[in-house]
Amino acid sequence: MKKYRIGQIVPSSNVTMETEIPALFRSRETILPERFTFHSSRMRMKKVTKEELEAMDAMSLKCAQELSDAHVDVMGYACLVAIMSMGRGYHCVSEVNLHQETVANDFPTPIVTSAGALINGLKVLGAKKVAVITPYMRPLTDLVVDYIEHQGFEVVDSIALEIPDNLEVAAQDPMNLLEIYKRLDLTGVDVLVASACVQMPSLEAIDLIQKEIGIPVTSAAVCTTYEMMKKLGIEAKSAIGGELLSGKY
């Protein structure tokens, strides 16, 4: 039985990343032999504004050093909008910089950013046209839309719930998404991103929405989990999500 250490670089006010991602890994433990422990380092952030996100991102390198001290097997940067608000393609820059910190600390570690994981997840699902739900204010949501489109996808429609307080984002009932998504224009959409935010809970709703609309539904947390499992070289499966990112739940 192989045991893996999962490291997470987490905004100080994020309480969902350490809930949904472990839930997917724990669910996997019910069907496959590998086992996982979870280890976090935090960056200060309370309000989801561009200024706070930029200041928070500057702390990520220190977090990578701390997690590297624990010899984690993979690291996930748990804030999609922090990466996407820093400019187009910034997930590539961030992943290189964080990896270099682990190399300098003599324990090279694979890096996953939730932003990069979402982009990769959409590619795995073969998406061309997507719709997105975010908890962010509209200007930040527009940055996320632009970022996704710059990566080669068309965002047909998006919803910005406009919740600036990060703890309030975490307090959202994921089952509300069953009604929220109906406000989207899904004409021609290949994939629905039910939560483009690892702080806004969505896990319980993903399967139900997918059954209603008949197209793949995913989230930043699901994509991050998938990417972490791939970086570990293990099967990307979960008893919750089946074949992660297969569109089959």
Task: Provide the CATH number for the domain around residue 165.
Answer: 3.40.50.12500
| Residue 249 falls inside a structural domain | no
Q: Are residues 124 and 160 in the same domain?
A: yes
Q: Are residues 109 and 1 in the same domain?
A: yes
Q: Which residues have CB under 8 Å from 202's CB, separation 6+?
A: 20, 174, 177, 194, 195, 219, 221
Q: Are residues 108 and 145 in the same domain?
A: no
What pLDDT, on the 0 to 100 scale, is given for residue 63? Answer: 95
Distance between CA atoms of 44 and 114, rounded to whole angstroms? Answer: 18
For residue 27, give its domain range: 1-113+220-243
Q: Are residues 31 and 51 in the same domain?
A: yes
pLDDT in tens, 49-64: 778 878 888 889 999 9
Q: Which residues have CB under 8 Å from 73's CB, separation 6+?
A: 4, 5, 6, 7, 109, 110, 232
What pLDDT, on the 0 to 100 scale, is given for residue 249? Answer: 40
| Residue 98 falls inside a structural domain | yes
Q: Which amino acids are annotated as binding site, given as ranges?
A: 14, 79-81, 136, 166, 198-199
Residues serving a catalytic function are 79, 197
Q: Are residues 60 and 126 in the same domain?
A: no
pTM for the model: 0.93
| Residue 186 falls inside a structural domain | yes
Per the structure, the count of domains in the chain is 2
Q: Are residues 109 and 138 in the same domain?
A: no
Q: Which amino acids are annotated as binding site for substrate, given as ranges?
A: 14, 79-81, 136, 166, 198-199
Q: Are residues 4 and 106 in the same domain?
A: yes
Q: Are residues 90 and 176 in the same domain?
A: no
What pLDDT, on the 0 to 100 scale, is given for residue 83? Answer: 85
Q: Are residues 5 and 104 in the same domain?
A: yes
| Residue 123 falls inside a structural domain | yes
What pLDDT, on the 0 to 100 scale, is given for residue 246? Answer: 55
Q: Are residues 166 and 229 in the same domain?
A: no
| Residue 40 falls inside a structural domain | yes
Q: Are residues 11 and 90 in the same domain?
A: yes
What pLDDT, on the 0 to 100 scale, is given for residue 247? Answer: 47
What pLDDT, on the 0 to 100 scale, is given for residue 79? Answer: 85
| Residue 248 falls inside a structural domain | no
pLDDT in tens, 199-225: 999 999 999 999 999 999 999 999 999
Q: Are residues 130 and 103 in the same domain?
A: no
Which parts of the chain register pLDDT below 70? 239-249
